[in-house]
Amino acid sequence: MQIGGPYYKIDALFNEFQRLGLIPFISVEFEKEVVSCPDYIKMLDEFLQHAVSYFGDAFVGKWQFELVFAKWDQTARTFYEQYFQTVKKRASTAKVGVHVPFSLEKGLSVTVNEFLKQMDQIDLVCFSCNPNEQVDFTDMDNSSFKGVKDHIKKSCMELKANLSSAGLAGTPIYLTNWNTLYGNTVNLSGTFFRSALIFKDMLDVIKEISGLGFWIDTHSLEKSNMDNEDIAMNGIALLYYYQIKRPAFFNIQLIAKIGLEILAEGEDFVLTKGKQGYQLAIYNNSYVNPTYSVESFFLSSLTKEKKIMISGLPSGTYQIRKYILDRNNGAFYFNWLNLNQQYIYDQEIITYLKQRAYPDLQIYEENIESELLVQSTLTLNAIHLFEIRPLG
């Protein structure tokens, strides 16, 4: 018997969630986890009864559940209905939905469509999207893989249309597993810097769906992809081993600074307005073949000079904060290379990498009449974010 009761560990985990203001999003893979449907539903009911008593209705009522099925048959339908009813009995405002297999090429299968149409209540729909499945990484004659551009955005829009046809228009959609173009070997996954690709996909997708998923760390991501033959993983991790921050972590930090009101947007920039002034994000997104990312001459040819004139700003003095996220600022891999690829095995090396792998920050003031000229030199897939804050 577990010391502290049968739910001691899960209580400790969700206590931490509650402290951090996080909401559990629980995924259940039916074929992997459920041996006996009646026994599983009974355990679910007992746990939810405990959870409501321990955490309270307000917290448990925000939980979301994703059911994943390999076969969309009558057994799946029955289990979903029982699971849905059990959750609603204990926490009526909690959300229950399904993870659907979907791709741009195939759409939703007939059996999945039938399942969705027959279910009376589906609170949310989740799916995965990995554009790298369409990439031939052995094609060394191709210096660019532009075919993956906008793949995720198009997938979100197409799934919304499919769900509408199935009677689920307006149902919240979550992209729980996804990726951008990546390096498909251990070395290339480090040398191919891609923050701008992640940033642009995030900007595009959050306009279409309700949420995006990330893996908390590399260990969890690799564990979930143990069946894969290579490094082609369907997911993006925020932390490396030893809680060293990966560039994706900083992507989230930067996108959180973006204002809700979009003033202007182009292929390589977005200008927004928020509570603390204006925000301008500039990015040099390039879908170059990751194999070419090890060639310094080729990389230098992809560096771009960006100039943007912002007009119509109220006159006054502004503080400008410029964040730079690129291969030299925020990517621990290149700092690790400078250590001659030493094994990360002691606290000194870990601390060094944590301190070095961070976006650059430059702060200065500008007296603005009505216009501001912003210019930056961006390396491959770099992001420069300007916070333009009025003073006084």
Chain segment 369-392, per-residue pLDDT in tens: 999 999 999 999 999 999 999 997
**Tokens for 123?**
């609170």
Q: How many domains does the chain have?
A: 2
Average pLDDT over residues 248-256: 97
| 336 belongs to a structural domain | yes
Rounded CA-CA distance 158/173 in Å is 12
83, 140: one domain: yes
Average pLDDT, the chain: 92
- What are the residues whose beta carbons fall under 8 Å from the beta carbon of 273, sequence distance 6 or more? 259, 261, 263, 279
> Domain boundary at 215, 231, 259, which?
259
Average pLDDT over residues 178-195: 86
pLDDT at site 232? 47
142, 195: one domain: yes
Rounded CA-CA distance 250/350 in Å is 18
**Tokens for 371?**
């216009």
H/E run at residue 325 = strand 316-325
252, 124: one domain: yes
CA dihedral 200, 62, 116, 38 (to 10 degrees): 130
CA dihedral 39, 41, 46, 51 (to 10 degrees): 140
> Domain boundary at 243, 259, 275, which?
259
Rounded CA-CA distance 95/28 in Å is 13
Residue 320 sits at the vertex; the CA angle it makes with 317 and 325, to the nearest 5 degrees, is 175
Domain with 339 in it: 264-390
pLDDT at site 47? 98
Tally of CB atoms within 10 A around 266: 9
CATH of the domain at 365: 2.60.40.1500
pTM, full prediction: 0.92
> How many whole angstroms from its chain centre is CA 234?
11
Measured over the CA atoms of residue 329, residue 358, residue 238 and residue 170, the dihedral's sign is negative
Judge whether 98 and 122 are in contact, CB under 8 Å. Answer: yes
45, 141: one domain: yes
pLDDT at site 234? 74
> Bigger pLDDT: 107 or 138?
107
> Domain boundary at 259, 280, 295, which?
259
110, HSE (Cβ side, Cα atoms, 13 Å):
0
Q: Which of 21-25, 152-156, 237-241, 292-296 has the lowest mean pLDDT?
A: 292-296
pLDDT at site 388? 98
| 3 belongs to a structural domain | no
